[in-house]
Amino acid sequence: MSALAYLLWRTLANGLKRALRRPSFWIVAVLIVAILGVSLFGGGEIRAENLAGEGLRDVRELIAMAFALNAVMFVMLAMQGLARGASMFSMADVNLLFPSPVPPVRILMYGLLRGLGTALVLGLFLLFQYSWVHGQYGVGAGGLLLIVLCYGVSVFLGQITATALYAFSSGSAARKRAIRAVTACICLLAAGYALYGALVRMDAPLAALVDCANSPAMRFFPVGGWLAAVMSGIFAGDFGLALCGALPVVLLPVLLTVLISRMKRSYYEDVLAATEYQQQVQLTRQSGSLETAPEKVRLGKTGLSRGEGASALYYKHRLEDRRARASLIGVPELIYLAITFAYTFFLRDEGILPVLIFATVMQVTSVMLGRWVKELTRPYIYLIPEPPFQKLLQCLRTSLRGMAVEAVLCMVGVGLILGLTIGETVALVLVRFSFGLLFMAGNLMIERLFGGLASKVLVMLFYYLAMIVLAVPGTVACVLGSVAWTQTAGYFLLAAVNAALALLVAFLCRNVLRYAELNQR
């Protein structure tokens, strides 16, 4: 056994041993198995209902959604690497492997194998979608595993493409501009093709988009189209189509590996630069000091022009956001919005409730926390001679603008797709915003109670359990309001209960800014 194979095997074995000794691992494992069991059971019931009713939906819709997800992930990862590179190594690998007498190509293959494993782990969240995937489209466990595998492959290919692009264009502004121009042209052509198909068939834009994503032309879109061809071929039993899609997927990493290993510049230099940059970014985030920043930071305007007392915290956050060029809606939130709109398109005949549940589940992981978590580790916030609750509200105030904009964009889009009335759309906007408040309050509660825990897995487990508990009162009020009055009235009541409960939780956790010792890490 070679040294790298032994290192990879011992890393996996030791990681598994450490996990088996931790109670948090068993708790999370039991929870995951329970959720998967519920998902498997629920998927069978939904499928039986669909077979007894209108029948299953066209599986090409699922392939279209997978195509969009894989294409977006690949393009995003590749373009991020164009600026900063992508490293599949840690600083320990850089310090120990790079100076060792091992051929560089073997070390690169070791990093690629580790990157593939990480990419597959990232796709495990798709397993929890088995219930509606099996119920709506009749796709079994094998088909869902294929979707997870394709997602992991798209992430893996995005990482290795980012490394190759960085190595090819590093030090050449002209090459970077050329790569960005080519990428923009390809994406614009694909978007224009899809838009043209939707405009031609205005009577059925959803069917037009599905046909576009499954058309032969889209099969040439890098990675996303190739993987869609693989899924289409396997689901339809056309193994020739599946082979045509799998061939470029296999050849691309081989070609990129050969190019990276034969470039005049050693990929060691690019990987080292990317790894050191990521390490410095992490240290800067933890310390909050610009002295450890990996590059020069343009401060621009300094000082606060408005605000005094506790309100200075709010204007301080706005100034920091302006320096960081942070917008109200970030790229992850836009991706979540696009996924929600796609889900609404495909299930628009099912009504408001499934869409609202799906959007709320997505919101649990995408709620914008803002900068208040970092403020808990800064000493000056405890010295401001203001009531702790007032300081806490000013810290949370920055996140409210982003949540309000996101709620309007999300639910107005959903309302337009479903053809809702103005009253129903306003109610859904308030519900979305109230859940943002509730989840932010839940984050505050978890930070207050379990912020000092070393196990982040346990913290995440408590977070999800707390979100479920906090959502129960509003859900009960919504059901009672819908039975007593109308569904729209129930949504307004849900928003009111969520907002009141969020304010109550924030008030009960106000002492988080009274004693700095509560937030020591």
Q: What is the pLDDT of residues 215-252, one digit of tens each?
A: 998 999 999 999 999 999 999 888 899 999 999 999 99
**pLDDT one-digit tens code per residue, 482-498:** 999 999 999 999 999 99
Locate 424 and state its tokens: 């129903």
Helix 141-169 × helix 130-137 angle, to 10°: 120
Q: DSSP class of residue 57?
A: P
Contact between 234 and 137 under an 8 Å Cβ cutoff? The reply is no
Number of alpha carbons in the 13 Å side-chain half-sphere of residue 471 = 17
pLDDT band at 521 (very low <50, low <70, confident <90, very high): very low
Q: Distance between CA 407 and CA 425 in Å, rounded?
A: 11
Kindly state the average pLDDT of the residues 169-176. 75
Q: How far apart are the first and last CA of the chain?
A: 42
pLDDT for residue 197 is more than 60: yes
Q: What is the mean pLDDT of the chain?
A: 77
What is the SS3 assignment for 361? helix
Q: Which of 236, 253, 233, 252 is nearest to 244 (CA)?
A: 233
Q: Which of 331, 310, 323, 446 is nearest to 375 (CA)?
A: 310
The winner for highest mean pLDDT among 48-52, 465-469, 495-499 is 495-499
What is the SS3 assignment for 429? helix
pLDDT for residue 213 is more than 80: yes
Backbone angles phi, psi at 324, to 5 degrees: -85, 0
Q: DSSP class of residue 159?
A: H
**pLDDT one-digit tens code per residue, 83-119:** 555 556 666 666 777 777 777 667 767 776 776 666 6
Backbone conformation region of residue 266, classed left if phi is above 0, alpha if psi is from -120 to 50, else beta: beta
Q: 261-269: long-range contacts at Cβ-Cβ below 8 A with a sequence spacing of 24 or more?
A: 261/104, 261/105, 261/108, 263/167, 263/168, 265/167, 265/170, 266/104, 267/104, 267/108, 267/163, 267/167, 268/98, 268/104
Q: Which of 403, 399, 401, 394 is nearest to 307 (CA)?
A: 394
